[in-house]
Amino acid sequence: MDTSSYNSQIRQLRILAEAALTQYDIGSARLTMLSHGKHAVFRVTTYSRPGQQAVESATRAEDGRFALHLCQKDGFDRALWNSELQWLAALKRDTDLLVPEPVATRDGALMQEVQIEDIDQECICLLLRWLPGRSVDWGLSPTLFERVGIFLARLHQYAKQFIPPEGFVRPRWDWQQVFGDETVLDPDFAATRCDGLIGGREYRIFSEVAERARDEFAVIPTSPEYYGLIHGNFRQDCYLFYKGEVGAIGFHKCGWNYYLADLSITLEGVAGRNDEEALEQALLRGYERVRALPDHYEEWLRIFKATRLLEHINSLFRSNDLALRASAPSQLTLALEWLGVFVHSSFAGRSFPGKA
């Protein structure tokens, strides 16, 4: 990358971020860039200038920290983002779950447009209270994972009663997204995107998974007890531990889906570990401390695990990232090993495969 171009982009993002912050009642603040690009994120740390009295306002975070998101206006889906913010605001208003709280501007808006003279790009910005905590991966124990299950159950319990406001728009999961066009079951897609790795054997296994999934999804109820707004990406980098509590960030993939799909995503995050079985039992034990699992959850959860594997393989072959595509052969081998057993066996348990 051209260093001068990169430095120019960073300077422009910082100028836009500083301009955005003038619309919030948070006082003086320092900016630390956490990511850049089409969706840039800054950590915002408020402070008092020498001789200046600390700002006292309803928007000031307890520890003076926020997360400022700057999104390029081109391609920005305002309805989708606004709905995510409405969901977070509802969770903060109606529960004591630890989630980021949207912060409104002085005018009461949850999003604002920012444009500066002599800077070409125009951004949409939004501000969230900083959620403290740390993510845990290899140090994740059954005790900690049980708390994750409790959090997820409480989230689903609230989702069951959530009434979306007018104009609320979040993605709705559909069977065709995994098994229809532009997937490994699409002959044209397999021929043009899958590097010759999808042959007759692979196609037969994927087709049998699709047939079983179609039959099962036809009988799994879509009533609020089973289906609602889920987190959609509740893995290690999206749940945090803070003072014995679990918090959640990264709600960008929240959407309408089965609650068991959320559990399968969380379990996917610990796939392939030596303690995978103990962790799965802990997660489900924690979940059932809050809300009961369906009578057929063991069979249905395996369906969702199989579906997640297909989603993962589809995403690998859709990607233009060279590193991801290079991992496709080994990832495909792991997936086929598990899926082959899945379609030729009963629902008696078998571990979910890890990702290379």
Residue-level pLDDT at 49: 62
φ and ψ of 25, to 5 deg: -90, 70
Amino acid, single-letter form, for residue 312:
H
- pLDDT tens for 279-311 read 999 999 999 999 999 998 999 999 999 999 999
What's the length of the chain?
Answer: 356
Domains and CATH numbers, the chain: 3-129 (3.30.200.20), 142-343 (3.90.1200.10)
Return the percentage of the chain with pLDDT > 90, whole number: 78
Residue-level pLDDT at 50: 58
User: What pTM did the predictor assign?
Assistant: 0.88
The number of angstroms, rounded, from the C-alpha of 79 to the middle of its chain's C-alpha atoms is 18
> Tokens 């039992």 label which residue?
281
Do the beta carbons of residue 48 and residue 28 sit within 8 Å?
yes
Beta bridge partners of residue 107, listed in sequence order: none
Do the beta carbons of residue 61 and residue 7 sit within 8 Å?
no
Amino acid, single-letter form, for residue 194:
C
- pLDDT tens for 305-348 read 999 999 999 999 999 999 999 999 999 999 999 999 998 874 44
C-alpha atoms less than 13 angstroms from C-alpha of 356 in its C-beta half-sphere:
15
Burial class (CB in 10 A: 0-12, 13-18, 19+), 187: exposed
Residue-level pLDDT at 350: 44
Residue-level pLDDT at 284: 98
Per-residue pLDDT of the chain (356 residues; tens, 9 = 90+): 455 577 888 888 898 999 999 999 998 899 999 998 889 999 999 987 655 554 444 444 456 899 999 999 888 999 999 999 999 999 999 999 999 999 999 999 999 999 887 777 789 999 999 999 999 999 999 999 999 999 999 999 999 999 999 999 999 998 888 999 999 999 999 999 999 999 999 999 999 999 999 999 999 999 999 999 999 999 999 999 999 999 999 999 999 999 999 999 999 999 889 999 999 999 999 999 999 999 989 999 999 999 999 999 999 999 999 999 999 999 999 999 999 999 887 444 444 455 44
DSSP alpha helix (H) spans, 175-296: 176-179, 187-193, 200-217, 259-268, 276-288
